[in-house]
Amino acid sequence: MAISAGQWVFTFAACFFCSVWTWYQLRYYARRDTPAAYFAAVFISWWFGIVAVVVLLPLDLSAAVYGSEYISDDKPSDTHNLVQVLWKINYWLTFIWCWLVCPIVMEYWAAGEFTFRGKLRSALRHNVKFYAYACSGLLLLGVFVAISHGFGPAAVAGYLVAAANCYGMLLIVLMIGYGIVDVPRELWLRANPAKQLRHLEFRAANVESCMLDAKCDLEDSIRSVNYFKSALQERQGMLTPEFEFNSRIVYAKADAAKNLPGVIVTDSSYQSTVEEFSLSNEGLAELHYRLKRAIVMYERAVYQWEHLLTRSLELEAIVAEGSPEQPYQRLTSGSVDSETSSVL
């Protein structure tokens, strides 16, 4: 059975839809200053998964249902062969991309080094630690299975695929199990604005605490940068031009972090910073890594807090409109009012 024109039209139209939908979702969730390389890496990983569900699965079912009379044990149909090849291509590309490329890209972005080679070396070093633990566990499990069932080296590829699928299925079961509880609960809360408001008031203390912890971590990182800067002033003339240039990058990033909302770092607090980083390239890279991570964690915490405040104000307006005589508690930015604290 040859591939029909309708199947080709569906395949190309569905691939185009997957591309547009993936791009739209990434533009919605990604930061506006996300570099194109990181955006492309996440886009490809999402696209493979969406195509498998939206394109390959219907195409496979179509070949199995409508082409079953053309398929024999000796000579499968052209559509069956094509779908099988596409499944293998999608699976192995997704496997390589999500287990190798994406982790390296993530650690490459978080690395504190300043050169391509340094960032790549740091990313590989962090991933090697994870893969060392994972391979050790797989090796022990493989030895146990080999002794129990007696398979040889030829079955290693199948064993690796089964182990990866088992890990993925475990994550799916955990996520679905969480979603079965959380999604109905969220829908139940949304049906009652007053209950949802009380739920947000209950969460407010924890969200604010996380934001304050992230704020303290960021301020500590900025103090460390200033301590590092003051310590290097005693070594003027002894530093290489490359080290001075990299240092100015870290100083500029710390100065920009001071302008984030809620961040307060006084000059007197610089002296309280403990000397944690050596005055070397390695120490500067570690300081840069810590500062980058602290900025991201604080921005995320601030967004969660502001989102909670915005949603609370919307629910307060709905509750007040529905019950004009019933007073309600108000959450304020940066802290929780004393009246509200009684219900938290």
* Residue 190 identity (one-letter amino acid): R
Question: What value does the mean pLDDT take over residues 280-304?
Answer: 89
Model confidence pLDDT, tens digit, residues 237-283: 667 788 888 888 888 998 888 888 888 877 544 444 445 556 777 88
Model confidence pLDDT, tens digit, residues 60-114: 887 777 655 444 455 556 667 778 888 889 888 988 888 889 899 988 988 888 8
Residue 341's pLDDT is: 36
> What number of other Cβ atoms are within 10 A of residue 13's Cβ?
11
Nearest Cα residue to 225 out of 167, 185, 265, 184: 265
Residue 156's pLDDT is: 65
Residue 36's pLDDT is: 87
pLDDT-wise least confident of 178-192, 223-237, 316-330: 316-330
Task: Enter the pTM of the model.
Answer: 0.70
Q: Is the model more confident about 156 or about 15?
A: 15
**Average confidence score pLDDT of the chain:** 79
Residue 340's pLDDT is: 36
Please, which pLDDT band fits residue 327 given cuts at 50, 70 and 90?
A: very low
Please, which pLDDT band fits residue 20 given cuts at 50, 70 and 90?
A: very high
For 228, the token pair is: 């590092």
Residue 322's pLDDT is: 64
Nearest Cα residue to 253 out of 105, 104, 112, 107: 112
